[in-house]
Structure 1
Amino acid sequence: MPAAPADFIRAHTRLDVPPCVPEIRLHLADDVVALWEQTEAELRRSGLPPPFWGAAWAGGQALARYLLDSPETVRGRTVFDFASGCGLAAIAAAKAGAASVTANEIDEYAIAAIGLNTAANDVTLSCVHGDVLDRDPPDAAVVLAGDICYDKAMVDRVLPFLERLRERGSEVFVGDPGRAYLPKDRFEALAVYDVPVPEMEGVEVRRTTVWRVP
C-alpha cells in the first residue's frame, strides 16, 4: 500500500533552504527526476505529472525574494498563490505580513508538501485543491503565479484567467525565468534576479523576472 503523501514527502526529501530565499525552509528533493521515478514506482502508475512540489523553481524563488524585500506588496492584504508548487511564494507572502494566504494546486502531493512546508516555517495559510482556471476568479487583493509559462497550452489557459483577475481589481504578479511562451508585451517588469535552479533545468542559474499585469 502506498505511503500517505506527507509520509512519502518526508521519506524522499530533506529540509533545505532555497538559494535566493534563505529565510524559508522547504522539503526539497536532491534530484527531481529521481523523485518522479520514485513516485511512479510507489504508486505503481506511469505518466504522472512531474513532482513540481519537490523543487524551488526560479519563478517561485524570485517572487518570494521580491515579497520579502518589498513586504508592502502584500502586508495586510489577501493573497492567492496559483499553482503554488512547494508553497514557496505563498509562505513568503505570509512571512511578509499578508492578512491571509491561499495556495492552489492540482496535485495532492503538492498540497501535502505545502502543509509540511507551512509547518516548517511556522506560518498559516489555506489550500485550494483542484483546477481553478474555469471557475470564478478568487477574491484576493494579490495574485501570485510562478513558473507558469513553460507550455503554450498552459499559457493559453492561464493568461485569460490572470487578466480577468486584473480586470476585477487584483494585483497580479508573475515570476518567470525567461520561458519562451511568456508574452512579455502584456506584462510590466518589476525586478530581476539571477536564481540557481535544479539540475534538471540544464543550467546552473536562470535570470528570472518578476512581472506585473498592468
Structure 2
Amino acid sequence: MKRSGIPRPDPAAFIQANLPISPVPAISEILLYMAGPASGLWRLAGRGETDPPPYWAYPWAGGAVLARHLLDRPEVVAGRRVLDLGAGSGLVAIAAAKAGAATVTAVDVDANAIAAIGLNAAINGVKIVAVAADIIEAPPPEETDLVVVGDLFYDPALALRVMDFLQRCQASGIEVLIGDPERAYLPQGHLRRIATHAVADFGASTGGKVVPAGVFSLAGDG
C-alpha cells in the first residue's frame, strides 16, 4: 500500500530492523519487539484515518497484568485452549503458551499486529496461531476453553461490543479473564477482581509508568 507515493514497508522486515528486542518490565520471562523514540513507527503504521493505531508496538498494562498472572498461576491455562482477543503484541498469548496452554490463538484486527505476534512468538520459542479478524460480532469461538482480554476498554463503543461478545462466550461455557488498569470504560459492575499487580504501562502515553492493574472474571449473567 502507498501513501503520498511512499510504499509501505513489509511489516515483519520493518519490525526486525527498527524495533529492538527487550524484556517486558516486570515480566522478564518474555521478550518483545518494542518501539522506541527512534523507531519511525509511523512509516509502518500510517497516518490515515483508517489506519489502526500501533497498539501492538507497546506492552499495555492490561496485557501485562494478565501475562504476569498467567505465568504466576500456570494452572489457569495448563492444557486448555486459549484465545487472546485484541492480542496486540501477543504478550498475553505468549504467556499462555509458556504457562502450558494446549493451543493458543491470537486475534487482532491489525495486520501489523499479526506480523509482530509471529515474530514475538518466535523469539520466545512458543507456537501461536495468529489471525487477522474482527470476531466480536461473530458467535463464540469453537474449540475454546478460555478467552483472555487485555486492555480493550479504552473506547466506549468498543467496550460495549467487547462486553457483549464476552458475555456470549460465558453463556456458551467459555471462561473469560480480563486484564485492565481500570480505564474509563471498564464495566466494573459486571466483573469480579481476582488479582492485582503493579505493571508498567507503555500504551497510554504514560511513558512506562508503573500502575496498579487488575485481573477480572465476569461476575455472572448480570
Whether these two folds match at TM > 0.5 is yes
Give the conservation status (yes or no) of the 8 Å contact 1:175–1:208: yes
Give the conservation status (yes or no) of the 8 Å contact 1:80–1:101: yes
Query: What one-letter code is carried by the residue in structure 1 that aligns with 2:12?
Result: A
2:213 counterpart of 1:208:
yes
Match for 2:178 among 163, 174, 178? 174
Q: Normalized per residue, which structure has more helix? A: 1
> Which structure 2 residues correspond to residues 1-214 of structure 1 after superposition, within 5 A?
1-31=7-37, 35-40=40-45, 45-47=47-49, 48-139=51-142, 140-198=144-202, 200-202=204-206, 204-214=209-219
State the TM-score, normalized to the length of structure 2: 0.90
Compared CA separation, residues 200 and 74, structure 1 to 2 (3 A)? closer
Q: How far, CA to CA, are the matches of 2:21 and 2:44 in structure 1?
A: 19
User: RMSD across aligned C-alpha pairs, in angstroms?
Assistant: 1.7
Give the conservation status (yes or no) of the 8 Å contact 2:108–2:132: yes
Unmatched 5+ residue regions in structure 2? 1-6
Query: What one-letter code is carried by the residue in structure 1 that aligns with 2:24?
Result: P
SS of alignment partner, residue 97 of structure 1: coil
Q: How far, CA to CA, are the matches of 2:204 and 2:130 in structure 1?
A: 27
Q: How far, CA to CA, are the matches of 2:20 and 2:41 in structure 1?
A: 15
Query: What one-letter code is carried by the residue in structure 2 that aligns with 1:178?
Result: E
SS of alignment partner, residue 53 of structure 2: coil
Give the conservation status (yes or no) of the 8 Å contact 1:106–1:129: yes
SS of alignment partner, residue 173 of structure 1: strand
Compared CA separation, residues 23 and 129, structure 1 to 2 (3 A)? same
Compared CA separation, residues 36 and 152, structure 1 to 2 (3 A)? farther
Cα shift readout 1:9-64 (whole Å, capped 9, x = no counterpart): 112211001112100010001149x6543335xx5x52322111100111111000
Unmatched 5+ residue regions in structure 1? none
Would you say how many aligned residue pairs link Structure 1 and Structure 2?
Answer: 210
Identity %: 43
